[in-house]
Amino acid sequence: MHLRRVSAALGLFIALGFPVMAHAGQTIDKIRTRGELVCGVSQGSAGLSLPDSNGRWSGLDVDYCKAVAAAVLGDGEKVRFVPLSSAQRFAVLQNGEIDILSRNTTWTSTRDASLGLAFVGTIFYDGQAFLVPKKLGVTRARQLDGATVCVQPGTVNEQNLVDYFTANNLKFKSVVIESLPELEAAFYAGRCDVYLSDASTLSASRAARAPKIDDFLILPERITKSPLSPVVRADDPQWFAITRWTLNLLIEAEELGVTSRNVEQQKASKDPAVQRLLGVAPGIGKAFGLDETWGARVIAAVGNYGEIFDRNLGPGTKLGLDRGLNALWSKGGLLYAPPFQ
């Protein structure tokens, strides 16, 4: 009976596309031996991953890595952040130089099937857009015929740029710059008419780097869907499960009303779902190779998804983003966590 169960489990991992390893927990073992989580982030995108003058990182992607560190190391501050360009990010993860990539990365079919990597789940629903100077006199994307467009290589933005202009019979010239700071400097210096990226990245750029915010406009069109997801190597099912369910936990905590401020009081809740989430009722720790209270520890460290969003991207920040598609499913958005059972 035991052998049949093992065979069935191995078959499931193979069917899901995970290579089977002799020791499924090698990633978490390395992290615990090292004493820190190594997280790949952007080269600087306000609201997502950006260092301050003291080198301290903040943002949605940053807080997610802190949540994972709290789950596996017991301390959300035990993270080393590695800034990566779009062209570098996948190779660095594949080579094992980082444990997780949390860098505004779009989940696509080709990336999912060909890189030997696993996308954890959508942490932010976004879409590509165009940022233009108002003096250009453009208010809609179809007015961009003949424009010069700044874009990073190694991103889906390059292909989306070609697709959009081809589909709409428009001409363009691309200015391809790998370094994000250099690309943004080129745009604001007038080397190109348009900056193409995810709307969140453009909002961050305008808020942090535009000489005058009101002189620049994000056009209303979103030319593609862009679900952003953290990424791990697809060779460790246990690590994939921990990273995926840490994200789910942040979403579930918001739906259940568990916050960084009330997490200790919520341990007295009679709601079975809250009891399971916080480890009062055992069950969600052992399967991941974690202790039962890892969920409570994560929420205490970074808060729930709503707290993280509001702190980094919400109306009270320079970006001033509404939740939109990133609201809970019960509030008109797309965020939904499978049950913790």
Domain assignment of residue 13, yes or no? no
Give the CA distances from residue 217 to residues 63, 207, 213, in Å, rounded to whole numbers and listed in that order.
Answer: 28, 11, 8
- Decide if pLDDT at 13 tops 50: no
Give the pLDDT of residue 206.
93
Is residue 102 domain-resident?
Answer: yes
Tell me the CATH number at 202: 3.40.190.10
In this predicted structure, the answer to whether residue 7 has a pLDDT above a threshold of 50 is no
Please give the tally of structural domains in the chain: 2
What are 214-260's pLDDT values in tens digits? Answer: 999 999 999 989 999 999 999 999 999 999 999 999 999 999 999 99
Mean pLDDT for the stretch of residues 149-173: 91
Q: 315: number of CA atoms within 13 Å, CB side?
A: 3
Query: What pLDDT, on a 0 to 100 scale, did the predictor assign at position 21?
Result: 35
221 and 296 both lie in a single domain: no
Distance from CA of residue 146 to its chain's centroid?
Answer: 33
- Of 6 and 268, which is predicted with more confidence? 268
Q: Are residues 31 and 108 in the same domain?
A: yes
Residue 3 scores a pLDDT above 80: no
Model pLDDT, residue 52: 94
Q: Note the pLDDT tens digit of each residue in 313-329.
A: 999 998 889 999 999 99
Q: Are residues 289 and 143 in the same domain?
A: no
Range of the domain at 58: 26-123+230-322
Domain end (from 172, 206, 226): 226
Is residue 21, in this structure, part of any structural domain at all? no
- Are both 210 and 266 inside the same structural domain? no
Q: 329 in a domain, yes or no?
A: no
229, 232, 269: which is closest to 72 by C-alpha? 232
Are residues 101 and 167 both part of a single domain? no
Res 25: pLDDT: 67
Residues 179 and 268 in one domain: no
- Domain finish residue from 192, 226, 260: 226
Whether residue 11 lies inside any domain: the answer is: no
CA distance linking residue 307 with residue 86, whole number of Å: 28
Say which DSSP state 26 is in. Answer: H
Q: Average model confidence (pLDDT) for the chain?
A: 91
Residues 236 and 210 in one domain: no
Asked whether residue 44 is assigned to any structural domain, the reply reads yes
pLDDT tens track for 71-116: 999 999 999 999 999 999 999 999 999 999 999 999 999 999 999 9
The mean per-residue pLDDT over the stretch 53-63 comes to: 97
Q: What is the pLDDT of residues 264-306, one digit of tens each?
A: 999 999 999 999 999 999 989 999 999 999 999 999 999 999 9
Tell whether the model's pLDDT for residue 16 goes beyond 50. no
Residue 252 lies in a domain: yes
Q: Are residues 204 and 58 in the same domain?
A: no
- For strand 37-41 and strand 100-101, is the pairing parallel, antiparallel, or unpaired? parallel
- Assess if residue 333 is contained within a domain: no
For residues 275 and 214, membership in a common domain is answered with no
pLDDT at 157: 82
Q: Measure the N-to-C terminal CA separation of the chain; round to a whole number of Å.
A: 24
